[in-house]
Amino acid sequence: MGQKVSRIGVLTSGGDSPGMNACIRAVVRTGLFHGLEVFGVLRGYSGMIDDEIQPMDSKSVANIIQRGGTILKTARSKEFRTSEGRTRAYANLQKHGIDGLVIIGGDGSFHGAKTFSNEFNIPCIGVPGTIDKDIAGTDFTIGFDTAVNTAVQAIDKIRDTADAHDRLFIIEVMGRDAGYIALHSGISTGAEHILIPERKTDMEALLISLQEKEKRRKLVNLVVVAEGDDFGGANEVSKIIRERLPNTDIRVAILGHIQRGGSPTCLDRVIASRMGYAAVGSLIEGRHNVMVGIVNNRIHYTPLDNAVKAKQRISEDWMKIFKILAS
């Protein structure tokens, strides 16, 4: 437990994710309900350094819960990684009398928050906003459900044209370090193969499987590849398959940043609202350096240090389910 707060700041940092606006709304309105003054920090840590800090009221967050992106903008700040940058940021917080922060972002954002809090003894509460679902200490991250549903909708459409032409489609989804979008969208769309960063890709096994399916005249195949796959993504995978199976009709589809945008799903709106509400409650109760998560449908608190260092792991059960259903 740490010091009490009266003025709090909220910022979004790192990659944007659908549902961040719902969380901002919850932080602002919960803070105001409890008599706190609430400030929005534009462009993440960069805005803190450049004093892009503005007061927020209930009207500031009206009509945003359904919007993707973030009204506070976001950025990745190299300057905040330096002692000089963090000192400037703290001076600006002091100028506005801000004595607590809610940081909505991923592990990089939490690492910055932990360092900043340790240096200047300012309470920081993290809220996991990332489409990758790669933060330990929570069953959900804000934006994952929307992103994976966007991927599923796109892959369903691709399967239609794959079926019409008897094609192999290699579909790249986001996931530089984590394969959750590939795993969930692959299972949901009946993909024949998924390639994820957490597992070393057995290209020989993939090729043998495709050859076997070709013999069975199963010519429609979907391979879902996370961008962080060890072969370098969909384009590199397609090169190898074309070399070994030259008669296969192959197309590549890279879904890209479409997965980051769009109106958040009901699930993302609800968990973002719950987490934002709980983040303000954490500051009021005097918690320091924790991330708010949801585990088994209950609010769960994880020290920022653990949320930064640890990663969710894809269990063998998930892989077994996929292997059986894709056979």
Residue type, 57: D
| Residues forming a β-bridge with 250 | 168
CB 300 within 8 A of CB 137: yes
Angle ∠(178,184,189) on CA atoms, nearest 5:
135
CB 54 within 8 A of CB 40: yes
Determine whether 326 is exposed, middle or buried from the number of CB atoms within 10 Å of its CB (0-12, 13-18, 19+): middle
Residues 6+ apart with CB under 8 A from 217: none
The answer to whether 132 is a known catalytic residue is yes
State whether the Cα torsion 281-283-285-290 is positive or negative: positive
CB 11 within 8 A of CB 40: yes
- Where b means 16+ CB within 10 Å and e means fewer, 143-169 reads bbbbbbbbbbebbeebbeebeeeebbb
Instruction: Write down the catalytic residue from 132, 134, 229, 268.
Output: 132
Q: At what angle do helices 266-285 and 20-33 cross, to 10 degrees?
A: 40
Q: Catalytic site residues? A: 132
